[in-house]
Structure 1
Amino acid sequence: MFGKLIGMQGNVLKIVLDEDLDMAKVNRLANGKRPTVELKMADNRKISPEQRKKIFALINDLCSYTGDVPEYWESVFKYQVRETFGVPEFSLSDCSVSVANYMILVILNFLFEEDIPFKTKTWDSLPSEFPKQMLCLKNKRCVLCGKHADIAHYHAVGAGRNRNKISHVGNYIMTLCRGHHTEQHKMGVKSFFMKYHIRPIKITEDIAKQLKLGVINNDIR
């Protein structure tokens, strides 16, 4: 169902639905429990020129490597965005900010999986809301430069902690290449995070399953 948000106070929302609510259906779906709902906010922001520039910069980097024409890969990645995120047909001239970020995510994921190089300045210019950390954890890439990386820990492994038997769950981790990881140790964790404006991710059981993170063995500490 769809509706409009007309009021909000703290975590209490007032929503006017576009059609009458079928209480019989609600009760049937709730199966005797308190009904729960999922709230999705429509993204009415339009793609920015900067996002569009990043998308085509990545596609051009890919085509420089493969020799293909940009139009081919643009259509391939649009299809993947529609299939992966369940969005309708869209144009890069007027799609939403969210859809543009989906496009960047799909392209980068492909480049990482196929080990296709792209310009570091494109990586540096990705917006702060872009899910860099999860993308890098999935593909073992440095969150700062996109180079190959291993998992680094916010709290050092050692000092009585058996690194061969520690679970990732509950640990704060990130992915850093050897150069940035060495810099982190020299500067200290807090100074390093302040310099690069990044925060580690706390690994939950769900994230560990999603990223297939089990017991720590040969990761960077």
Structure 2
Amino acid sequence: MELRAEITRQEGNEITLKLYDPLEVKTLLNSQYRGKYWAVVDTYEQDKITDDQRKHIYALFKDYEEYTGVPLDAVEAKFKYDFMVEQNMDELPSLARNNMSLKAASEFISYLVTYCIQNDIPFRKQQFYLTTDTSIMLYAMLMKRICWSCGKRNAEIAHVEAVGMGRDRKSIDHTQHHFMSLCSDCHKRQHQMGIESFMQTEHIKPIKLKYEELKQIGVM
């Protein structure tokens, strides 16, 4: 069991810890050996996986478990293995504190979010974007026509730059435009608020698409 703690005092080879997680008596008794209680102290490094990242990863595991019925430990094993293969890693990634870098954790979350979007796994909460590569997530949502704001399916593909009244859309070079996917209600709200205010409020940044991608979603 890992416990968060702060080193509040150090004298020679003795330290005093302030625990931020509860220490159960049963856990303490299990660590007894020859009348003493043992622990391993691993100092925190700032460029390592954060508690928020770990929470989001396990929340995504839970989303998959609830939708598919696959046991949580099997879900974790599956995604760790798949991520290891995709990243060409030599061993399974560890989610233990100090064993995964901040960058790798962000990439793992991006991988999980993208997988869930592409395979129609519903999210219980949308806050995962706070610890992931937002552009990757938004691209996957746009290609699946999921509303960037509320998560509804069958969203509309919205131009950010005004196409203009009376213009022939077939003559427009859509590869030079930015897009986002919004349901009809959120699209109306975007027009009411104005594009800049809407993007700041929703923490989104519209993206450009290549010709083949535009064909795939029916814009061209």
Give the TM-score, by structure 2 length. 0.66
- 1:136 aligns with 141
Contact 1:167/1:215 (8 A) holds in 2: no
C-alpha displacement at 1:165, in angstroms? 4.6
C-alpha displacement at 1:54, in angstroms? 0.5
- 1:68 aligns with 70
C-alpha displacement at 1:81, in angstroms? 1.6
Which whole-Å deviations, capped at 9, do the CAs of 1:75-113 have from their partners, x for residues lacking one?
Answer: 221222222233332201121122222222222222222
- Alignment size in residue pairs: 170
- 2:80 aligns with 78
C-alpha displacement at 1:160, in angstroms? 3.2
C-alpha displacement at 1:51, in angstroms? 0.5
Deviates more, 1:91-100 or 1:112-121: 112-121
CA-atom RMSD in angstroms: 2.7
Letter of the aligned partner of 1:108 in structure 2? V
- 2:156 aligns with 150
Point out the structure with max Rg over C-alpha.
2
C-alpha displacement at 1:217, in angstroms? 4.8
- 1:180 aligns with 186
- 1:87 aligns with 89
Give the TM-score, by structure 1 length. 0.66
Letter of the aligned partner of 1:72 in structure 2? A
Contact 2:117/2:140 (8 A) holds in 1: no
C-alpha displacement at 1:188, in angstroms? 1.4
Alignment of 1:1-221 (within 5 A): 45-89=47-91, 90-93=93-96, 94-123=99-128, 126-127=130-131, 129-131=133-135, 132-148=137-153, 149-201=155-207, 203=208, 207-208=209-210, 212-214=213-215, 217=218
- 5+ residue gaps, structure 1, are 1-43
Q: 1:208 to 1:186 in 2, by over 3 A?
A: same
C-alpha displacement at 1:146, in angstroms? 3.0
Contact 1:184/1:192 (8 A) holds in 2: yes
- 1:3 aligns with none
Contact 1:45/1:97 (8 A) holds in 2: yes
The 3-state SS of whatever aligns with 1:120 is: coil
For residues 138 and 101 of structure 1, the distance between their equivalents in structure 2, rounded to whole angstroms, comes to 21
- 5+ residue gaps, structure 2, are 1-45
Identity %: 35
